[in-house]
Amino acid sequence: MFTPPSFPERFNMAHYFLDARIEEGRGDHIAVVDDNGRYTYRQVQAMANQVGNALSAMGVGVEDRVLIALFDGVEFAATFFGVLKIGAVVTMVNPELPDGDYEHYLGYTRARALVGDATLTARIVPLIESSKLLRGVISAGAGGNWSETVGRASPSLVNCDTSKDDPSAWLFTSGTSGKPKGAVHLHHDFPFNTECYAKQVLQMRPDDVTIGVPKLFFGYATGTNLMFPFAAGATTVLFRERATPEKLFDLCAREKATVLTSVPTMINKMVQAAGAPRSLAPMRACISAGEALPPELYHRWKETFGVEILDGIGSAELFHIYISNRVGEVRPGSLGRLVPGYEAKVVGADGSPVPDGEIGTLWVKGDSAAICYWQAHEKSKEVLRGDWVVSGDLFRRDADGFFYYAGRADDMLKVGGIWVSPMEVESCLLRHANVLEAAVIGYEDDDGLVKALAYVVLKDAAPSDELARAIIEHCKIELVHYKAPRRVQFVDALPRSDRGKILRRELRS
């Protein structure tokens, strides 16, 4: 019987994830491999201490926000833990956003310091100079001041005496409507999920080597490719550029990766890649999240590489995955069962639980839940209801406790008075020999009735009206007739966020 973890009142999560590894005697084990070298836990600790001292020298104090906009590398790891060590609060964003977005994030977080890539800090000098709250900037990479600020700081630091209930980090929502909101988390939140998901479900261990497709600024990757391996004393492999199948095949083989963090889009690309290896050994698991994994894609991956995909769901509000498949217990099409330490219920419009097999809204409870959205009081009350997080996702649960995603409430289509899940239609589309990717939304026909419209990316075939009709007929054969799309629109690519999620609102517009 699993007992949910508890943490002491005085608790700093930088000690939990980093310093404790040195105390355990793993200081000389490789913690990070990046584009420039290999770094032990002791070296990362020293660098994190230097970052903390450099920020303190700038005047950054307890609970001050620090905005991190770095590419993946040892500097990100050191900065993440260095901020926590001095009791400041981590906020993280993509270093490749448009300039105007940083004006928003600097203002919204009221960041006292920016730690960014040198290419970024050089191009937003006017924003930096006009900020009335920034007390300093640290820039990493060619032309940056990392050596002068961090490199000359002391590698010794006594961690701030924080409480387990002090704020530690903000995780930004994916921004499906309006600007992303910051979900405010405490020092014990991330360790709670680590103990429940990383150690119980993933069973992370010291000999693991992790590689990730999503980048570290995204909470999904911050967990699987930084915090989780660090908590186990394992090794994480980081690289600056965006992932490609070729890059991943090369790194997985060279570093003997055992855990790959991915998303359905990249899983599809790796399966389709020319010259893909027949084995990814010694890989023991691939993690998928961010958007639904069609069963057809799971089977293609498993047949190609022989590695199970552990599809699951998490959120910025709960930090990481709370429902997941497990090795040896995967049910393709489902998101698995509850992670130990979490509770969930599927409720109807009246707030009462619905019977197994019926679709309702997912409510989740667990001690990694955020305390609020920053500057969004009404939204906080709507989503964070006591111990429960109201997800906004539609699910059904079967009699064995496996959860099946039906879509976001605002993505569901009501066709002929009957609810249709875009996911079900998209999975059917992917089974057509010519379809590489697909996304389904609703549109109104000439009579004002809602019908399904499929946006389709083809593999190699040329777009044609004949092919569109063939794809629609394929769906009519495999699905109940009314679920099949009435129209197919061929596109070169589907619009995606910087976290890899399909931007359905752009398709609708």
Residues of the chain below pLDDT 70: 174-178, 409-410, 416-419, 447
- At residue 415, φ and ψ (nearest 5 deg) are -110, 120
pLDDT digits (tens, 9 = 90+) for 315-347: 999 999 999 999 999 999 999 999 999 999 999
Tokens of 399: 């009699």
pTM as predicted: 0.86
User: 188 and 7 in contact (C-beta within 8 Å)?
Assistant: yes
Tokens of 168: 């530690």
Tokens of 22: 């040195």
Beta strand extents in 398-463 (DSSP E only): 403-408, 413-415, 418-420, 435-444, 450-458
CA distance 389 to 382: 9
Contacts of 34 (CB under 8 A, 6+ apart): 72, 73, 74, 237, 238, 239, 240
Looking at residue 82, what DSSP letter applies?
H
- At residue 475, φ and ψ (nearest 5 deg) are -70, -35
Q: Scanning the structure block, which residue is given the tokens 């090795």?
A: 327
CA distance 508 to 422: 13
User: 348 and 360 in contact (C-beta within 8 Å)?
Assistant: yes
pLDDT value at residue 175 = 54
In total, the chain counts a number of residues equal to 509
Number of neighbours of residue 447 by Cβ within 10 angstroms: 6
User: 234 and 227 in contact (C-beta within 8 Å)?
Assistant: no
Tokens of 287: 């993690």
Please name the residue ranges forming H helices in 117-210: 118-123, 125-130, 146-149, 189-193
pLDDT digits (tens, 9 = 90+) for 267-313: 999 999 988 898 999 999 999 998 878 898 999 999 999 999 999 99
Tokens of 500: 């890899």
Buried/exposed 187-216: b ≥16 CB within 10 Å, e otherwise:
bbbbbbbbbbbbbbbbebeeebbbbbbbbb
Q: Which domains does the chain have, with CATH numbers?
A: 8-187 (3.40.50.980), 188-346+393-408 (3.40.50.12780), 411-508 (3.30.300.30)
Buried/exposed 359-383: b ≥16 CB within 10 Å, e otherwise:
bbbbbbbbbbbbebbbebeeebeeb
Q: What is the DSSP string of 265-317?
A: HHHHHHHH-TT--S--TT--EEEE-SS---HHHHHHHHHHH---EEEEEE-GG
